[in-house]
Amino acid sequence: MGESGSAVPVLGCDTIVSLGGATSSGATIFAKNSDRPPGECQPLVLLERAEHPPDARVRCQYVEIPQVASTARVLGSRPVWLWGFEHGVNEHGLAIGNETIFAREAPAAIGLLGMDLVRLGLERASSAAMAVDVIAALVEEHGQGGSGFREFEFPYNSSFLIADAREAWILEAVGHHWAARRARTTDSISNHITIGADWERLSPRVEEHAREIALPLAEPFSFEGSYRDVENVPRAFSEGRLRCSRTRLEAGRGAHDVASLREILRDHDASGRRFRPGATSDQEQYFTICMHEGPSRTTASIVAPLELGRRGPNVVWASFGRPCASLFFPVVLAGRFPEAFTRGSDEPRADVLWWTFEQIGCAVERRPELSDSVREAFDPLETTLLAEGEAARVELDAMTDTAAERFATELLVGVAARVQEAARALLARL
């Protein structure tokens, strides 16, 4: 059952972070799997920085709000029909991802989507602390609401993991109310409220509001204890994934890098890298970090290193489709993006790279034994692209802006061609 008494379409996501104290390089590494309805195309978009007149307004998915004076350059991952982003990174080295969370209070029929708030936070903030302020203020003023799904009506509440090179924050919002705390050295969020009495910041009147609508109250006040819905959403849906991500993050403490967070995004719990069907929806194994079953699938992923003192444009790693059946490629927040990365469509098209990876993922779901063939095809190229992307990070840091734009464009065109060739060749053999 859902927040309004109807069936809940339990659609998930997982977002993770390893701060510098737990990585081998000292950089923060942010990562996320975006889980969306099967077959919903989710390409990349690069928004350029912009200046806006004093009276400007911006139309989000369902509501129009005042625009700010300037917005940052942002790389986002956007479901093809939506305005907002599932996750993204901006030119200041700020990364944000969001999750659906299920609460005892339903959001409004119209308001800001969690994806709107991700994009607005990335456009308007230059640090994690500033993004907490931006998102919190927007939640208080405009509230959350509107369906984030095209095929059915389902307004939802959201949580956010917000990271920069110095720190990360978790913010969880219900309607117009929210709680926030600093992330631990390794931390993650999934699809339920997790901030209990360990909150560091609260919206005004959040405890009073819980009392007014007869929610449970504890002393000290627990945001989770008052607002989390544990009756209408099975615990198996998200608790296993959250436990798994936090356990794997803690186990790798001190050694995390792009490759290790990439592997967490590919996790199928007891099955490791390989998807194995057969679990039922009352079991945690049915809902794994790399999502293949139920009403949602992993449709896009990101791994983003965030470095202190970086001068050049950031380099992050993105993938399309289920990460276990895909490959991560470097993306630079500069230059002109090739159409292979930005083109989307509602229906399968041979010239849309996202759909090529979607078809590979579907093939693995039908025949899980194909997983080995997929990794044999993709792992060598992924290893090469990881090394080339790391080298590009160093080169870009020493370039002028003009040189970096030209270098990034050439790099991305070459990467897109190789990724597209490898994906099409594999699909033809499956």
Per-residue pLDDT tens digits for 345-376: 999 999 999 999 999 999 999 999 999 999 99
How many domains, in total, are found in the chain? 1
State the pLDDT at residue 6.
41
Angle at 261 between CA 89 and CA 419, to 5 degrees: 70
The answer to whether 343 and 413 have CB atoms below 8 angstroms apart is no
State the pLDDT at residue 98.
97
Is 405 inside any structural domain? no
State the pLDDT at residue 12.
87
| Biggest distance spanned by C-alpha atoms of the chain | 61
Determine which of 24-38, 50-64, 140-154 has the lowest per-residue pLDDT on average. 140-154
Mean local confidence (pLDDT), 261-289: 89
Residue type (1 letter), 10: V
Is 300 inside any structural domain? yes
Confidence (pTM): 0.96
Is 76 inside any structural domain? yes
> Predicted confidence band at 120 (pLDDT cuts at 50, 70, 90)?
very high
pLDDT at position 140 over 90: yes
Residue 344: CATH number of its domain: 3.60.60.10
pLDDT at position 181 over 70: yes
Q: What is d(CA 369, CA 89) in angstroms, rounded to the nearest whole number?
A: 35
Strands (E), 164-258: 168-174, 177-182, 186-189, 201-202
State the pLDDT at residue 10.
67
Is 414 inside any structural domain? no
pLDDT at position 36 over 90: yes
pLDDT at position 394 over 70: yes
Is 409 inside any structural domain? no
Per residue in 300-325, pLDDT tens?
999 999 999 999 999 999 999 999 99
Q: Going by C-beta distance under 8 Å and a sequence separation of 6 or more, which residues neighbour residue 339?
A: none
Locate all alpha helices (DSSP H) within 113-230, ordered by sequence: 114-124, 128-142, 206-212, 223-227
Q: 70 to each of 54, 125, 133, 169, how far by Cα in Å?
A: 10, 10, 17, 24
The answer to whether 139 and 112 have CB atoms below 8 angstroms apart is yes
pLDDT at position 47 over 60: yes
pLDDT at position 269 over 90: no
Residue type (1 letter), 88: G
Is 376 inside any structural domain? no
State the pLDDT at residue 8.
57
Is 355 inside any structural domain? yes
pLDDT at position 392 over 50: yes
pLDDT at position 288 over 60: yes
Strands (E), 37-167: 44-47, 50-51, 57-59, 64-66, 70-71, 74-77, 87-90, 95-101, 157-163
Per residue in 145-168, pLDDT tens?
999 998 888 889 999 999 999 999
Helical (H) or strand (E) element with 316 = strand 315-320
> Predicted confidence band at 9 (pLDDT cuts at 50, 70, 90)?
low
> Is 60 a known active-site residue?
no
Determine which of 280-294, 328-342, 375-389, 410-424 has the lowest per-residue pLDDT on average. 280-294
Catalytic residue among 13, 60, 244, 362: 13
pLDDT at position 1 over 60: no
User: What one-character DSSP code corresponds to residue 108?
Assistant: B
Q: What is d(CA 64, CA 77) in angstroms, rounded to the nearest whole number?
A: 21
Give the percent of the chain with pLDDT over 70: 98
pLDDT at position 218 over 90: yes
Q: What is d(CA 253, CA 257) in angstroms, rounded to the nearest whole number?
A: 10
Helical (H) or strand (E) element with 15 = strand 13-18
Packing angle of the helix pair 371-397, 258-265 (nearest 10 deg): 140
Q: What is d(CA 214, CA 347) in angstroms, rounded to the nearest whole number?
A: 46
pLDDT at position 390 over 60: yes
Helix and strand counts by DSSP (H, E) for the chain? 10, 18
Mean local confidence (pLDDT), 380-398: 97
The pairing of beta strand 157-163 with beta strand 95-101:
antiparallel
Is 116 inside any structural domain? yes
Tell me, rounded to whole angstroms, the distance of Cα 224 from its chain centroid.
22
- What are the phi and psi torsion angles at 348 (to 5°)? -55, 135
Q: Structural domain of residue 257, as residue ranges?
A: 13-199+227-366
